[in-house]
Amino acid sequence: MAGVLKKTTGLAGLAMCDTPHERPDVKKLEDQLQGGQIEVILQAEKELSLARKLLQWKPWEPLVEKPPAKQWKWPI
């Protein structure tokens, strides 16, 4: 697949970015996208980051020690 270049983003009116690793000017890009699309992208990046952390933390596994009996009672 050497020599194959991506020529479009698939988004109407949005040119291909030569340096996608660099953050774009958010306001300018949102104007091109006609709305708050950047927030969706940023939220997706945060969710991906959390998913990777959850794989390390393994919250679905049982606790090593039993929690204190009144840990989740309110008021204390």
- Please report where in the chains the tokens 């919250």 appear, as a residue: 59
Percent of the chain with pLDDT over 70: 62
What's residue 73's pLDDT?
A: 83
What's residue 1's pLDDT?
A: 46
Ramachandran angles phi, psi of 13, nearest 5°: 80, 5
pTM for this entry = 0.46
Give the CA distances from residue 49 to residues 26, 38, 43, in Å, rounded to whole numbers and listed in that order.
20, 17, 10
Instruction: Answer whether residue 11 is part of any domain.
Output: no
Distance CA 49, CA 61 (A): 20
Name the stretches of the chain with pLDDT < 70.
1-23, 35-37, 76
Instruction: Answer whether residue 3 is part of any domain.
Output: no
What's residue 51's pLDDT?
A: 94
Give the total number of structural domains in the chain.
1
Is the link from the previous residue into 75 a cis peptide, with omega within 30 of 0? yes
Cβ atoms of 59 and 68 within 8 Å: the answer is no
Range of the domain at 46: 26-57
Instruction: Answer whether residue 73 is part of any domain.
Output: no
Instruction: Answer whether residue 75 is part of any domain.
Output: no
